[in-house]
């Protein structure tokens, strides 16, 4: 999957050399007002092949065993009654997920360094190949690259990318899943849009809009 073309010279040097870097200030992910729009290409919405869009947002918190979690709500295509799909907590640059508070898994580790081998979510071990810096929403954010390669023009792309404060390019709850391939090869989940307090900060430009995720723009 190709990454955006907006890179600074510093970011490209870091990509090539694997140099460790830090954003100016850590950007937290678990904040009220954040919203994720994720293409769900597992089950078609209708017979015409229109896929569902999972809309996730954070709504309130709950205390379980003296640990405070934030509720992750979801609807399909922004319709129907919202339902809770997970509980998240964030501490020292790491994001943890649970469903009932009895056990939790590490979902993201934004403290990782280049060369670290990570297992997050329900995926396998992956090596962090590189970290770059990209300004999104007027804020410098770390960008984590797994399975990093370069196309014939020298532009980087990766099997998996995390963006600090946003999460995986496969969606909030789907980091480091080895089954997630390119959309033309029946990709299961793809982050289409991310907003903060209604402001669009991330838009996968392969898609026309956040809620029309089957309308892929002509790359040619």
Q: Determine the pLDDT at residue 213.
A: 57
In angstroms, rounded to a whole number, what is the distance separating the alpha carbons of residues 52 and 38?
8
Q: What is the pLDDT of residue 10?
A: 37
**pLDDT grade for 187, boundaries at 50, 70 and 90:** low
The percent of residues above 90 in pLDDT, for the chain, comes to 48
Q: Give the confidence band of 144 by pLDDT, cuts at 50, 70, 90.
A: very high
3-state secondary structure string across the chain: CECCCCCCHHHHHHHHHCCCCCCCCCCCCCCCCEEEEEEEEEEECCCCCCEEEEEEEEEEEEEECCEEEEEEEEEECCEEEEEEEEEEEEECCEEEEECCCCCEEEEEECCCCCCCEECCCCCCCEEEEEEEEEEECCEEEEEEEEEEEECCCCCEEEEEEEECCCEECCECCCCCCCCCCCHHHCCCEEEEEEEECCEEEEECCCECCCCCCCCECCCC
Checking if the pLDDT of 83 tops 80, the result is yes
Tell me the pLDDT band of 21, cut-offs 50, 70 and 90.
Answer: very low
């Amino acid at each position: 999957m190709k990454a955006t073309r907006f890179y600074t010279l510093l970011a490209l040097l870091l990509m090539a050399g694997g140099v460790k870097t830090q954003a100016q200030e850590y950007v937290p992910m678990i904040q009220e007002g954040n919203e994720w729009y994720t293409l769900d290409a597992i089950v078609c919405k209708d017979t015409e092949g229109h896929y569902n869009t999972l809309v996730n947002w954070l709504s309130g918190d709950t205390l379980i065993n003296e640990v405070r979690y934030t509720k992750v709500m979801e609807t399909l295509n922004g319709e129907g009654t919202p339902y809770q799909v997970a509980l998240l907590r964030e501490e020292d640059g790491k994001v943890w997920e649970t469903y009932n508070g009895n056990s939790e898994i590490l979902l993201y580790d934004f403290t990782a360094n280049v060369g670290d081998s990570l297992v997050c979510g329900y995926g396998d071990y992956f090596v962090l190949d590189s970290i770059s810096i990209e300004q999104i929403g007027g804020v410098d954010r770390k960008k984590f690259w797994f399975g990093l390669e370069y196309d014939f023009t020298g532009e980087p792309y990766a099997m998996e990318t995390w963006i600090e404060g946003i999460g995986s390019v496969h969606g909030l709850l789907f980091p480091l899943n080895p089954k997630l391939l390119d959309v033309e090869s029946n990709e299961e989940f793809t982050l289409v849009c991310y907003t903060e307090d209604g402001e669009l900060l991330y838009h996968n430009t392969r898609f026309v809009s956040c809620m029309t995720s089957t309308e892929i723009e002509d790359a040619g």
